[in-house]
Amino acid sequence: MNVWIAIGLTAAGCYLAKLAGLLVPAGALERPLVQRLAALLPVALLAALTAQQTFADGQRLMVDARAAGLAAAAVALVLRAPFLVVVGAAVAVTAGVRALV
């Protein structure tokens, strides 16, 4: 039951967050500063999510095989590899490092 409460709250909260963004009147976005902020926020959040999911183990920081996987993804990105190759490289290198260490 607890799990269903969590699922219900998360689904409702996340949906309302998405909807709120779309419903803000266009006039509120005409100021250049607001526009620059809206363009820059995803950059900050995506960078933070990448770092968190690579280096966090719960509330602890650690460098493990995921870091090697992310490095592989970065190399693939620099080489302009397709999306699936980027993700595949990260997964394969992470699994490979774990198998070796």
Partner 1 sequence: MAEQRTPLQDLQDTGAPGTPPDGGPDAAAVRDALGVGTAVGLSGFAFGVTSAGAGLTLLQTCALSLLVFTGASQFALVGALAAGGNPFTAAAGAFFLGVRNAFYGLRLSQLLALPRPLRPLAAHWVIDETTAVTLSRPTRRSARIGFTVTGLTLYVLWNLTTLAGALGAKALGDTGAWGLDAASPAVFLALLAPMLRSTTERVAAGLAVLLVLGLLPVLPAGAPVLLSALAAPAVLFLGGRGTRRDADRTGGTTDTKPAPHTTPAPHTREDR
**Residue numbers 33-72 binding partner 1 by CB under 8 A:** 33, 35-56, 58-61, 65-66, 69-70
Q: What gap in Å lies between CA 34 and CA 56, rounded to an integer?
A: 31
Total of chain residues touching partner 1, rule CB under 8 A: 74
Helix H or strand E segment including 57: strand 56-57
Establish if 92 lies at the interface with partner 1 (CB under 8 A).
yes
Q: Binding pattern to partner 1, positions 17-36, x when CB under 8 A?
A: xxxxxxxx-x--x--xx-xx
Task: Decide if 67 contacts 52 (C-beta within 8 A).
Answer: no
Least CB distance to partner 1 at residue 78 (A): 9
- Strand partners for 60: 57
